[in-house]
Structure 1
Amino acid sequence: MEKQVNNLANNLLLKTYIKSLLTVFIFITSFVVTAQKSDFNQGKKYILEEVKVTGNTNFNPSTVISFSRLKIGEEIVIPGEQISNAIKKLWDSNLFSSIDVYLAKTDGEKAYLEINLVDLPELNKVTIKGVKKGKIDGLITENDLSKGTKVTENLVTTTRNYISNKYKKQGFLNAKTVVTTKELSTDSIEKARVDMLVFIDKGQKVKIANISFNGNEKVSDKKLRKSMKNTKQKNLFRILKRSKYIKEDYKEDLVSLIDTYKENGYRDARIIGDSIVYKNDKTISLLIDLEEGEQYKFGKIKFVGNAVFTDQQLHSILKIQEGSTYNGVELRKRIADESKPDAVDITNLYQDNGYLFSTINPVETSAEGNIIDMEIRISEGKPAYFNNVSVSGNDKTNDHVVYRELRTKPGTLYRKSDVIRTIRELGQLGFFDAQQLTPNMKNFNTQDGTVDIDYEVVERGSSQIELQGGYGGGGFIGTLGLSFNNFAIKDLFNKEAYKPIPSGDGQSLALRLQASQFFQTYSFSFSEPWLGGKRPVQLSTSISHTRQFLFDPQTRRADKDRRFNITGVSIGIAKRLKVPDDYFTLSQSIGIQHYNLKNYNTGLFTFGDGYSNNLSYTIGLSRNNLSVDPIYPTGGSSFAITGKLSLPYSLFNNVDYEGLKNERDALDPTNADDLTRIGEIDQERFNWLEFYKVKLKGDWYTRIWDKLVIKSGLEFGFLGAYNQDRGVIPFERFFLGGDGLGNFALDGREIIQLRGYPNQALSSQDGGSIYNKFSMELRYPITLGAQAKIYGLAFAEAGASFDNFRDYDPFNLNRSAGVGLRIFMPAFGLLGIDFGYGFDALPGQTQRNGQEIHFIIGQQF
């Protein structure tokens, strides 16, 4: 196979070489013949009388003449610059395979020219051999090999090189590609067409059998191999990094290898040679020759040119002590760490205080006795101020929505941290692709001390539609949800603003309807993030109504005469704080729910006819400093503590709850009359719900390597009673286990995710009054494109739910682990699947739960 490919390649090169020689020969011959037959004086000026277009071309003659910039009636020199420019112009069009310009004749002062053209052939059909059918369309698209494309030598060359390099990057080091073309007979309009054959021989995937080093005595082979992050030798136990050879990665790893020496004091270390040894078609060995040099230590380090910051301040950032082992990599990072835009280094210290034009250069002043003395020379320059601040690319989102998030204003002092924070705030809006937010600095003026900045954004879909159906709870469940996350309520009655909805003001509006024969849920919510438009004060409102029906075993349908209705209204205010820092938000809300039961006797409620009211006040303090992308954060944390409480009605309603409790305890629930009395007592206990509820939740994101992120989290919730005689209410409880999704909130319950177990299976029938949960996820993205963000994850979780505080044991947990996949598409929100395994038994059982599959729709990130 390899021999066949080499023969094809050699034949193609030979044909190309012969064709080039013929072209040169024809050009020289044409020039000589033309010169012999034409009676003209070289260098003489003529008036261009006529230009003919001949040859095998489909272009209109007048179009060709116009494009060549030759004009009838103009004065030209033969030979001269105008004709040379005409030929160059025609060649630059990439439309012709042959271009000749002849002097047909002269008549006194007049000259007659002929332009002979041969059109480049168009691509008719592409045949790709050597790869699977599923890969062919992608290769055609990537190389722009669509029908009708002009076939140039450059197209053939770039196609060959692109495909070969593509497979070499995948580990097929010996990949070869041969591209040939076959001319077809001209059609009725005499267009030249060719078929293209692309033959790909990937060969065997080449593995690195061994990486060997010569000349290393101070640093071990193991440590050097570890420093090469992307080039690894074969190892059965390695999962994340394969042992394939990619030239670009290998060159980067050679730099990393020398950095390892510099980190250990060997500043003069260098690679004096490296080679590839082919063992066979499948494996190679890498041999790297090193010269280590002597180990150095830091001597005295002086700062020169610093007036804004003292030596002591700069040394506190540099953190390098005299006598410590020389570390060139760490020195570079302490001066300017390019891998972290918000790193604590000297460059950022200056730039966060306005000194954009400052320069910091470390210079070795002495290296005697392997002790390196240094001067860090600083040119501070003028403080820089923003002149023009602009935003581009926001075609849908209104300017004021973007500009109110900017931390950089015209006339304010330049601070790098303000630019970074602005990028975060724009990414957190959810209206733009966080991966493509770009701050473009321009118009640097060191004399005036000014700079312009333009924030380039790329809009992405922020509205979502939820349309789903499924079978559960004894019947078909249908859901319709609409979420508009960049709404503009002011344009609600403006017909021209419906594209397809009024948008651009950053408001949120959501409608959701869900129904089956056993329940119906309707909800509406609206929020304005900048109430009044001047400060980040968010106003939120919501209205909901739920109807629940009992199952009739005789008809096997819902009994509409036995129902439980819940109607709720809430309004809230959330304000961004300035202390301790402006990542904190204080939120407050008031809500009321009315629970109405009619002939609804279940184990959950002891009264089947009656009502309860829940008037509550909620206060929360949260802090969110997640990195730019809210869908796939790579750093930062999110923390929230909330308290929800009702009025202490038992203090002023003059009800003897102790007497009611004693009476209830004395009654027999198996007696019909006593059961009726129990229901009356519970109706009086819960006519206005009295409770307090505390919740705590925190998530931390840490980047481990590249975009590999670990997310760790904890949750805690407690539902308590002011009056123990009145007891903990049967509403607002915690239900732990499963995917964390609830079809409806029948009683104000909160559904807590714990994968690897059935939904709500880790709480008692009435729900828990206290729970805690710990979780950890390892995430890695497959793609973070604007149209879809996809990432895989592995998780480990543990949690438990308890009926009362006396039974609470924070370490008696149900444990699980598994893997999953998340797909976020702007139009549909978050979709995902998890494969979990529960290591512990469900309550009341003895065997571990085992495998569970969970489907995630619209859950939090």
Structure 2
Amino acid sequence: MLNRLLTIIALTLLSATTVAVAQDSPVLNAPVDTVYNPNILYTGMPKSYEIAGIEVTGVPNYEDYIIIGYSGLNVGDRVEIPGPDITNAAKRFARQGLFSTIKIKVAKMAGDKVWLEFALKPQPRISAINYYGASKGEKKDLEERLQLMKGNQITQNIVNRATQIIKGYYSQKGFGNAEVRIDQIEDLSAPNENIVNINIDKNSKVKVHKIYIDGNEMLSDNVLQRAMKKTNEKGKLINLFRQKKFVESDYRDDLDRIIAKYNEKGYRDAKIISDSVVKYDDKNVDVYINLEEGKKYYISNIDWVGNTVYPTEILERILDIRPGDVYNQKLLNKRTVEDEDAVSNLYLNNGYLFYHLYPIEKNVTGDSIALEMRMVEGPQATVNNVIINGNDRLYEKVIRRELRVKPGQLFSKDDLMRSAREIAQTGHFDPEAMDIRPEPNAENGTVDIVFGLESKANDQVEVSFGWGQTGLIGKLALKFTNFSIKNLFNPSSYKGIIPQGEGQTFTISAQTNAKYYQSYSISFLDPWFGGKRPNSLSVSAYYARQTGINSSYYSSNWRNPYGYNYWGSSNYYNDYYQNSYENAYDPNKVLQMIGVTVGIGKRLSWPDDYFTFQAEIGYQWYYLKNWDYLYYMNNGTSNSLTLGLTLARQSIDNPLYTRSGSIFSLNLQLTPPASLFGKKDWKRLSEEGNNGSVEAKKELYRWIEYWKLRFKSRTYTPLTDPAGKWTLVMMTRADFGLLGSYNKYLKTPFETFYVGGDGMSGSYTYATETIALRGYENGQFTPWTREGYAYARVGMELHFPFMLSNSTTIYGLTFVEAGNAWTAVKDFQPFNLKRSAGAGVRIFLPMVGMMGIDWAYGFDTVYGRKGGGQFHFILGQEF
């Protein structure tokens, strides 16, 4: 009995345990009609099910609710299986572009309920990108365009897009046949990541073989082909410096230029009927253009409507287009909008920012067109706010004092452009990156002017070395262009090691060849002395000491630096070094100079406000001892007190790469005519001095007297679009200088012109002004005993930019120039000039300034020496 009782209890406990396990098991708990992984017959009749559960697999980095949200399906929804609901969910996943594998499975069914599984595989990510066949610069450009980065997902759409971008990039460079292949290689070191290899074969550039134009009768093929700026036949001499590669976008622009050319000639209805580009061979294409010219139109009448501010007579005079003229749409646009004196500027310079002019073809009869010039003048706009962004160099007041646009004034386009120029002239901001825009508010008739600036370093450090007859010459110069003298004794305001912010210029330099040559200078310029008006103050001082060369130096073998003398022996160490360094120095030959100059300048308003006037007072002291290098004076002490007057005009747009404008300078430098008030016998003293009397020369030149007249000019003319970044510019130059005396017996030994070569001041230009004339040696036009008392120079340069950025400006140039020098003002012959031509490059670096190198060929002979080929190194910007 007891055994039966224990058996019943054990069976009862086992039954309870089984039931509990069954309740916890989804399999045992499932309905009896549950089907796992059912086979779906997609050709069968659809049946409606309720989604009882959704499971997401294969994408551990995503939250389940996000993936379920992508599908558009939710637990509790009723779907048809088979049916469009599941298909549409798969399409939604595909549109995300995140998954390489998309499977929607039916995990199980029970009655009218269904459990779904989203089995996904993410797109692979980029582990590395390699470019093959692209240069370093091209790779950088492509990276910016493609924006492919390590860690990003890579899809076929991305691959296709990248392929098109790369082909388009090379097509713009003329490589129309470039081939691109993008391979994805599984990265074995990183799961689900691919190495992307971009293989590029540029092939040869595609050029234009021939251009065939049909349908043109009034304009010749040559005229139309010249109108096409970027699509040009190869092999023609006239196209030597023009683009010959075929670029699709340039070609489309050139088709528009053809129509514009016809419109310019009055052919308003001209159109291109068809065009095609046909492969000629693997490297060339032929272009076929079929035109319809239409007829030529003339202006029959011009009516002005809506003008109340200016009478019709004034507008007609400014427009300068009259009935009977050819209907030139290009000229009409220039006279209404583009030109400096266009109708639009008449309004825009007088506050009418909301002005509009609509030329309407009111009546077209036969070959005549009547124009109606519809004016919407609007109210005058007042400047509300002037906002300056991007300035971190100057005190804001320093910028604002240069602006011509000020709050409360009427808007003026000219004032806005002039303000941009004045900011560029300070040199503290990148002219190429300047973003200046008006933001008008038509509701209240005001406008905010926003100056978007990009600061650039403008201070300069010059460390240079050169080699002269007496060895190494070193120079150190520091130029601070944003100095603030008022904060000199306020160290807390310093930015770096110097006080900054006022836009003043402070320069200090030293040049030395040890005991042979020393030169020191210091200068200060405040362009707004006092801070209220554009009146400048300049102060400068210098000291220079030069030691002469011993005569025994010239009798040695110093001209033969390799030690092989002209007598068949080699005595390099015993002769060259000894004579070069021990015998060269002669302490008994000395020239010392001290000078101080103070100047005041003023900005003028007449003839226009580009003019400035400056007056300077200077004192120079000269000490000479056995100085054989000046013709008129060798020993003694000389003094000069000078008054300098300068009238200048400068209207250039950019001091680094100038596209337009001009620079003119007329300078007169005078000393008091002391000899006119004395009673000395200057003729006798001159004769005695010429006969070698040291005392007579000392008396003659105790006080130097002279007058010096100098004129310098430059003009800049853009040959291509002046608003473009890569403008081709023609620069012309015309200079002359005259150095005369009041007394014919007192011809000054100082301040002469040293003409020829690179124009760089050096240690062997003794108290003279250096004038460049490339293609000839330094000083070739003014050797000793033939000092320059007059010179003339003219030239023309073609400038073409290579790089124009905040940190670097690089441009090339080709030039022709001519010049000459004379020993007396009476011999001045400005049309008797020596010629040269050449090419060069200029590089501007913020911390160094302007540098360059020119190669020039001098065509003429000067004092028995032909110029020939010469290299010239340039440091600094010459005017």
Shorter-chain TM band: 0.7 to 0.9
Distance 1:431 1:155, change over 3 A: farther
The residue that corresponds to 1:435 in the other structure is: 432
State the SS of the aligned residue for 1:39: strand
What is the CA distance between 1:447 and its match in structure 2?
A: 3.3
State the SS of the aligned residue for 1:397: coil
One-letter amino acid of the counterpart of residue 633, structure 1: T
Matches within 5 A, 1:209-248: 209-237=209-237, 238-248=239-249
Question: Do the aligned partners of 2:686 and 2:700 also contact (CA within 8 Å) in 1?
Answer: no
The residue that corresponds to 1:327 in the other structure is: 328
Deviation string 1:769-802 (CA, Å, 9 cap, x unpaired) is: 1111101101111121112111111101111110
Question: Do the aligned partners of 2:546 and 2:763 also contact (CA within 8 Å) in 1?
Answer: no
Counterparts of 2:732 and 2:248 in 1: how far apart (Å)?
A: 37
Deviation string 1:226-285 (CA, Å, 9 cap, x unpaired) is: 111111112341221132211111111111101111111111111111111222212211
The residue that corresponds to 1:299 in the other structure is: 300
Counterpart check, 1:588 vs 2:615:
yes
Question: Do the aligned partners of 2:388 and 2:450 also contact (CA within 8 Å) in 1?
Answer: yes
Counterpart check, 1:201 vs 2:204:
no
State the SS of the aligned residue for 2:281: coil
The residue that corresponds to 2:838 in the other structure is: 818
- Aligned match for 1:416, one of 413, 429, 452: 413
The residue that corresponds to 1:39 in the other structure is: 52
The residue that corresponds to 2:755 in the other structure is: 736
Distance 1:296 1:550, change over 3 A: same
Counterpart check, 1:314 vs 2:312:
no
One-letter amino acid of the counterpart of residue 435, structure 1: E
The residue that corresponds to 1:48 in the other structure is: none
Question: Do the aligned partners of 1:607 and 1:680 also contact (CA within 8 Å) in 2?
Answer: no
The residue that corresponds to 1:853 in the other structure is: 871
Matches within 5 A, 1:345-360: 345-360=342-357
State the SS of the aligned residue for 1:222: helix
Question: Do the aligned partners of 1:613 and 1:687 also contact (CA within 8 Å) in 2?
Answer: yes
Question: Do the aligned partners of 2:430 and 2:455 also contact (CA within 8 Å) in 1?
Answer: yes
What is the CA distance between 1:500 and its match in structure 2?
A: 5.2
Question: Do the aligned partners of 1:702 and 1:709 also contact (CA within 8 Å) in 2?
Answer: yes
Question: Do the aligned partners of 2:50 and 2:78 also contact (CA within 8 Å) in 1?
Answer: no
What is the CA distance between 1:146 and its match in structure 2?
A: 5.5
What is the CA distance between 1:347 and its match in structure 2?
A: 1.2
Counterparts of 1:97 and 1:578 in 2: how far apart (Å)?
A: 73
Counterpart check, 1:756 vs 2:775:
yes
State the SS of the aligned residue for 1:125: strand
Question: Do the aligned partners of 1:507 and 1:526 also contact (CA within 8 Å) in 2?
Answer: yes
- Aligned match for 2:660, one of 627, 631, 635: 635
- Aligned match for 1:690, one of 696, 701, 705: 705
Question: Do the aligned partners of 1:719 and 1:728 also contact (CA within 8 Å) in 2?
Answer: no
Aligned identity (percent) is 37
Question: Do the aligned partners of 1:715 and 1:773 also contact (CA within 8 Å) in 2?
Answer: yes
Question: Do the aligned partners of 2:50 and 2:77 also contact (CA within 8 Å) in 1?
Answer: no
The residue that corresponds to 1:769 in the other structure is: 789
State the SS of the aligned residue for 2:52: coil
The residue that corresponds to 1:834 in the other structure is: 854
The residue that corresponds to 1:3 in the other structure is: none
Counterparts of 1:497 and 1:92 in 2: how far apart (Å)?
A: 59
One-letter amino acid of the counterpart of residue 273, structure 1: S
What is the CA distance between 1:808 and its match in structure 2?
A: 2.1
What is the CA distance between 1:38 and its match in structure 2?
A: 4.1
The residue that corresponds to 2:559 in the other structure is: none
Report the TM-score, using the length of structure 2 for normalisation: 0.83
Deviation string 1:157-193 (CA, Å, 9 cap, x unpaired) is: 3431222112212222222212121222353xx5x32
The residue that corresponds to 2:564 in the other structure is: none
Deviation string 1:720-748 (CA, Å, 9 cap, x unpaired) is: 111112x2110000011001101247543
Counterpart check, 1:185 vs 2:182:
no
Taking only aligned residues, the RMSD between alpha carbons, in angstroms, comes to: 3.5
Report the TM-score, using the length of structure 1 for normalisation: 0.85
- Aligned match for 1:705, one of 700, 707, 720: 720
What is the CA distance between 1:115 and its match in structure 2?
A: 9.2
One-letter amino acid of the counterpart of residue 630, structure 2: L
Counterparts of 1:204 and 1:261 in 2: how far apart (Å)?
A: 34
Matches within 5 A, 1:362-401: 362-401=359-398
Counterparts of 1:198 and 1:309 in 2: how far apart (Å)?
A: 63
Distance 1:737 1:35, change over 3 A: farther
State the SS of the aligned residue for 1:810: coil
What is the CA distance between 1:536 and its match in structure 2?
A: 0.8
Matches within 5 A, 1:499-648: 499=496, 501-517=498-514, 518-552=516-550, 553=553, 555-597=582-624, 599-604=625-630, 608-627=634-653, 629-648=654-673
Distance 1:594 1:269, change over 3 A: same
What is the CA distance between 1:415 and its match in structure 2?
A: 0.8
Question: Do the aligned partners of 2:651 and 2:662 also contact (CA within 8 Å) in 1?
Answer: yes
Question: Do the aligned partners of 1:717 and 1:771 also contact (CA within 8 Å) in 2?
Answer: yes
One-letter amino acid of the counterpart of residue 298, structure 2: K
Which structure has the larger Rg? Answer: 2
State the SS of the aligned residue for 2:347: helix
Counterparts of 2:800 and 2:137 in 1: how far apart (Å)?
A: 26
What is the CA distance between 1:117 and its match in structure 2?
A: 7.2
Counterpart check, 1:464 vs 2:436:
no
Counterparts of 1:116 and 1:507 in 2: how far apart (Å)?
A: 72
Counterparts of 1:272 and 1:364 in 2: how far apart (Å)?
A: 24
Task: Give the unaligned 5+ runs of structure 2.
Answer: 1-40, 80-88, 109-114, 554-578, 722-726
What is the CA distance between 1:656 and its match in structure 2?
A: 2.6
Name which of structure 1's ranges 381-390 and 496-505 shifts more when overlaid on structure 2: 496-505
Distance 1:129 1:322, change over 3 A: same
The residue that corresponds to 2:21 in the other structure is: none
One-letter amino acid of the counterpart of residue 171, structure 1: G
Task: Give the unaligned 5+ runs of structure 1.
Answer: 1-27, 41-50, 81-85, 106-111, 668-674
Counterparts of 1:528 and 1:768 in 2: how far apart (Å)?
A: 34
One-letter amino acid of the counterpart of residue 657, structure 1: W
Name which of structure 1's ranges 136-145 and 267-276 shifts more when overlaid on structure 2: 136-145
The residue that corresponds to 1:498 in the other structure is: 495
State the SS of the aligned residue for 1:279: strand
What is the CA distance between 1:661 and its match in structure 2?
A: 2.4
